[in-house]
């Protein structure tokens, strides 16, 4: 299926849309993330009237829209790209139907060609006049040429279907990735965490191996937002997400569950090992310093409380989460900025 570039404006137009987009984001205190940029760019450029109306309605209701509401808006207009995917499916259906016809024709052509060759062999074996042999040679040459053309059409059809299937897979992979990624921090979201937790339980039972779960919550996050503003609060969330990612191994899974709450799945890790990882995370976060790039102002220290638990044979996903949550609440009750193991 042929695709065209939807963003085909010239340099002057795109520069103007860039200026309008940045101004719009700043005016409404919307974080300058790629997803939010796309929302506003599509709106101010006039290419999506439905999105423009929905965004204006959202701003009228809430002033500065929340990250969650912006993400829902993005999902509504872009995440699934339903029309594009359906068009690709229809194109793929047409190609496959055409390929089926070519395969049926190829079967008939192969049968006819085989009979032609069989007849030619019989003529070669017989004592035949040269004129008759010449006629048969020309016939075999023509049949071979037709067979080659048939096979060429079949090869072209197969190549087309393969290209469509490959493109569709890439589009679906992108949709799946977007649906499992937290738009603000770039790490996995709650949906991806739930799926990974189910898989971790299955693996632990099948292989009889341990794994642990950490659930962390940024201390006094609301106060931080109220003092420094939501843009700085978003910066804190990204800082915590990047610190979590740096403090764990590639095989470990880091996710934002929502708000200021994060989770980590540590495969093949016992409770004591998980506690060590959690302590490293806590210390690294509290040692960090966030600065205002413009003024050089150092913001308040960021701290986090973490609950740690290990998988038990009969655990459900909710059992693990609830146990880690109880440990987290105990860490909060005992002064915050600390790690507690589940009892």
Taken in order of first residue, the domains within the chain and their CATH numbers are: 11-79 (no CATH), 82-179 (1.10.287), 190-341 (3.30.70.270)
**How many angstroms separate the Cα of 321 from the Cα of each of 49, 270, 328?**
42, 16, 10
pLDDT for the residue numbered 290? 77
pLDDT for the residue numbered 230? 83
pLDDT for the residue numbered 27? 86
Pairing of the two strands 339-341 and 304-310: parallel
pTM, to two decimals: 0.56
Q: Report which of 198, 327, 218 is spatially closest to residue 275, judged by C-alpha positions.
A: 327
Q: What is the distance between the alpha carbons of residues 234 and 237, in angstroms, rounded to a whole number?
A: 5
pLDDT for the residue numbered 239? 93
**How many angstroms separate the Cα of 172 from the Cα of each of 75, 78, 89?**
14, 13, 11
Both structure tokens of 234: 């978003």
pLDDT for the residue numbered 2? 40
Q: What is the distance between the alpha carbons of residues 65 and 45, in angstroms, rounded to a whole number?
A: 20
Instruction: Give me the active site residues, please.
Output: 260
Tens digits of pLDDT across the chain (343 residues): 344 455 556 667 777 778 888 888 888 888 877 778 888 888 888 777 778 888 888 888 777 788 778 887 777 776 555 555 556 556 656 655 665 555 555 555 556 656 665 665 565 555 555 555 566 666 666 666 676 666 666 666 656 656 666 666 676 666 666 678 888 888 999 888 998 999 999 999 999 999 999 999 999 998 888 888 888 888 899 999 999 999 999 999 999 998 899 999 999 999 999 999 999 999 999 998 877 766 667 777 899 999 999 999 999 999 999 999 999 999 999 999 999 999 8
How far separated are the first and last CA of the chain, in Å rounded? 58
pLDDT for the residue numbered 145? 67
Residues 6 or more apart whose Cβ sits within 8 Å of residue 5:
none
Q: Report which of 168, 187, 166, 309 is spatially closest to residue 240, judged by C-alpha positions.
A: 187
């Amino acid at each position: 299926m042929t695709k065209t570039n939807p963003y085909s404006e010239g340099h002057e137009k795109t520069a103007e849309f860039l200026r309008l987009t940045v101004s719009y984001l700043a005016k409404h205190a919307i974080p300058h993330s790629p997803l939010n940029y796309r929302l506003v760019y599509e709106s101010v450029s006039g290419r999506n009237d439905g999105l423009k109306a929905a965004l204006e309605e959202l701003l009228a209701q809430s002033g500065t829209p929340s990250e969650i509401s912006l993400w829902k808006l993005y999902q509504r207009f872009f995440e699934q790209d339903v029309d594009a995917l359906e068009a690709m499916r229809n194109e793929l259906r047409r190609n496959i139907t055409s390929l089926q016809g070519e395969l049926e024709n190829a079967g008939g052509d192969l049968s006819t060609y085989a009979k032609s060759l069989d007849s030619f062999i019989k003529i070669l074996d017989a004592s035949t006049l040269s004129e008759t042999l010449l006629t048969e040679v020309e016939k075999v040459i023509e049949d071979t040429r037709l067979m080659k053309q048939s096979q060429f059409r079949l090869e072209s059809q197969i190549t087309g279907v393969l290209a469509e299937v490959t493109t569709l897979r890439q589009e679906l992979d992108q949709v799946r990735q977007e649906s499992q990624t937290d738009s603000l921090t770039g790490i996995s979201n709650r949906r991806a965490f739930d799926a990974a937790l189910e898989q971790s339980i299955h693996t632990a039972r099948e292989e009889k191996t341990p794994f642990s779960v950490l659930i962390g919550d940024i201390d006094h996050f609301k106060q931080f937002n109220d003092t420094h503003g939501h843009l700085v609060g978003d910066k804190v969330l990204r800082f915590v997400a990047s610190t979590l990612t740096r403090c764990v191994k590639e095989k470990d899974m880091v996710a934002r569950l929502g708000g200021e709450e994060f989770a980590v799945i540590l495969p093949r890790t016992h409770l004591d090992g998980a506690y060590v990882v959690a302590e490293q995370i806590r210390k690294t976060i509290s040692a960090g310093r966030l600065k205002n790039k413009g003024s050089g102002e150092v913001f308040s220290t960021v701290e986090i409380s973490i609950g740690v638990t290990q998988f038990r044979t009969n655990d459900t996903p909710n059992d693990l989460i609830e146990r880690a949550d109880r440990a987290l609440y105990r860490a909060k009750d005992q002064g915050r900025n600390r790690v507690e193991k589940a009892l």
